[in-house]
Each structure stands twice: as structure tokens, then as C-alpha cells.
Amino acid sequence: MTGTVYLVGAGPGDPGLLTLRGAELLRGADVVVYDRLVSGELLDFAPPWAELVYAGKAPAQAAIDQGSINALLVDRAREGKVVVRLKGGDPFVFGRGGEEALACAAAGVPFEVVPGVTSAVAAPAFAGIPVTHRGIAASVAVVTASGAAGTDVDLEPAARSADTLVVLMAAGRLRAVCDALMRSGRATTEPAALIQWASTKNQRTLTAPLGDIAAAAQEAKMGAPATLVVGKVVDLSSRLAWFDPGLYARTAPAVSAPA
């Protein structure tokens, strides 16, 4: 019997943001193939006998290339195994989950997609920035700063049409991204935020006008993984920044029976 490949979103970093379905599948996994940005604590959900395969993915390098990852998922499933492909954020948001699903489909291997909490929404949320807000932003575009094979992406259509812009994979080319957005009509004075390591104890947030944020980020030595947010909603963070990485304990409030 062929096994199944589960493409599971691990969320942005905090293990508490894995879905219940994701946790349930990890508990029953024979094989877990995981990415660099996946919290190590999530691997503890897998049984001790599960095969754990690190699939790398630092910017511009990969421990295993995409073709080999696809082949591994298909091969293990054909051995009848329960294969969990654990991916940062959501598997279908700039995670190449679509390619892995296509490989399974082409091989006739059953697969399931378990959506995750994407950093495109979670990173702003952990900085107190709602990506939409009544009267302030009625649309949001999620774009990548880096296309296939590291090519530039045309940011203009998104920059011209969406109130809020969320740019992933921007850290390494922040100046070029900000310049492109300003050339596309975004004001140099528009509020912007860069959020690094969102939802973890290492979270850092930088806010500055779009025209200044690249220099400020360089000064602050903020690198990957970071998410750039551009738009009026960023101003809300001065009142809504709720997350204190130093104090954050991942414990839920105690449950007591109603009196």
C-alpha cells in the first residue's frame, strides 16, 4: 500500500502556532522532512523511531536540492510510509509546496495539504500591525523579493494596487526592494516595518519611513528571516505592539471551571 505525503505548515516560529492537524500527523509520522526555519521543538512530536531528514534551505543554498526532496517524498510514500513534509509558515506561500504536491500528483502518490500560519500575516501581527484595517487598508498583497533562481521580481503591479504590501525574503536586498517600490509610486514617507524572527524570543522590529528603512536595517544589522511591511497600517504598531520577546512564555492561561 502506498503511503501518504502530508505537506504541513509549521507556522512562523513559535511551536504553539502549529495546527492541531499538523501535531496529530507528526505524532504518527514515519518520516519527517523539515526545513531550516521550522522550530526544533516541533520535531519532538514525532515518534522516537521516525526518520528525520533535514532539507536545509538557507538563503541561496539548500542541503538537498528540490528535485531530491521531491524524489525522497515520493520514494518514502511508495515504501508505504506516512511522510510529513514540515515547512515554515504555510506550505503554499512561497514554500515550493506546490512543486512537491505536483511531484506527488505526477507519481500517483496521495497527498494532503495542511495549511499553516504564514509569516506574511503572523510577522506583522506579532509587531502589532493588522494587514488590513477598516478605513485604512482594504487590500493586502504578499510578494517575494526574490524570484526563481534569484532573479528580480517585478514589484510594480502589487505596489500600485495594494494598500498594504508584505514582502517576504526581502532582508538580503532591502535597498533594491524599497527603491523599486518608490519608483512604482509608493511615497518615501510611507510607514514601513521590518520584522525579524517574528514570534520567537529573538524577534526584532524596526519601523521607519520607506525611504529610510534600508539604511536603518543595515545600521541595526537586521538580516534574514525578516518580513517587510509597507503601508499606513504600520502606524498602528505604536499602539498595538503587544509582543514582548523577552517576557513571552508559551503557556496558555490556566483553565478553570466556571463558578
The residue of the chain with the least Cβ separation from ligand SAH equals 89
Strands 51-54 and 111-114: unpaired
Question: Does residue number 88 form part of the binding site for ligand SAH (CB under 6 A)?
Answer: yes
Question: Does residue number 241 form part of the binding site for ligand SAH (CB under 6 A)?
Answer: no
Q: Which residue has the cell 524572527?
A: 197
Give the residue, chosen from 198, 222, 233, 236, that forms a contact with ligand SAH under the rule CB under 6 A: 198
Other Cβ atoms less than 10 A from the Cβ of 128: the count is 19
The residues assigned a catalytic role are: 35, 57
Question: Does residue number 31 form part of the binding site for ligand SAH (CB under 6 A)?
Answer: no
Overall residue count recorded for the chain in this entry: 259
Measured distance between the N- and C-terminal CA atoms of the chain, rounded to whole angstroms: 52
Answer whether 160's CB lies under 8 Å from 186's CB. Answer: no
Cis peptide leading into residue 225 (ω within 30°)? yes
Q: Is 26 or 222 the residue whose CB approaches ligand SAH more closely?
A: 222
Question: Does residue number 124 form part of the binding site for ligand SAH (CB under 6 A)?
Answer: no
Cell (9 digits) for 36: 531550516
Instruction: Give CA–CA dist 168/40, Å, rounded.
Output: 22
Q: Is 128 or 225 the residue whose CB approaches ligand SAH more closely?
A: 225
Question: Does residue number 224 form part of the binding site for ligand SAH (CB under 6 A)?
Answer: yes
Give the residue, chosen from 6, 34, 45, 94, that forms a contact with ligand SAH under the rule CB under 6 A: 94
Give the residue, chosen from 3, 124, 225, 231, that forms a contact with ligand SAH under the rule CB under 6 A: 225
Under the rule (CB under 6 A), what is the footprint of ligand SAH? 12-13, 37, 88-90, 93-95, 118-120, 123, 168-169, 195-199, 224-227
